[in-house]
Amino acid sequence: MHGAPVGKKRTLIAADNQVSFNIVTNAKLFEPTDDQLSHYSYYYQSIYGTGTAVLVSDLSEKETALRALLRHEVGHDVAGEISQHDLAYVGVIRLDVTATRLSSMCSQRRKNKD
- Is 48 a member of any domain? yes
Contact 55, 13 (CB under 8 A): yes
Give SS3 for 6: coil
pTM of the model: 0.75
Domain count, the chain: 1
Residue range of the domain that includes 80? 2-105
Kindly give, in sequence order, each residue whose CB lies less than 8 Å from that of residue 96, ignoring residues fewer than 6 positions away.
51, 52, 53, 54
- Is 41 a member of any domain? yes
| pLDDT for residue 108 | 52
Give the CATH number for residue 24.
Answer: 2.30.110.10
Average pLDDT, the chain: 90
Q: Tell me: the pLDDT tens digits for 45-72? A: 999 999 999 999 999 999 999 999 999 9
Contact 46, 103 (CB under 8 A): yes
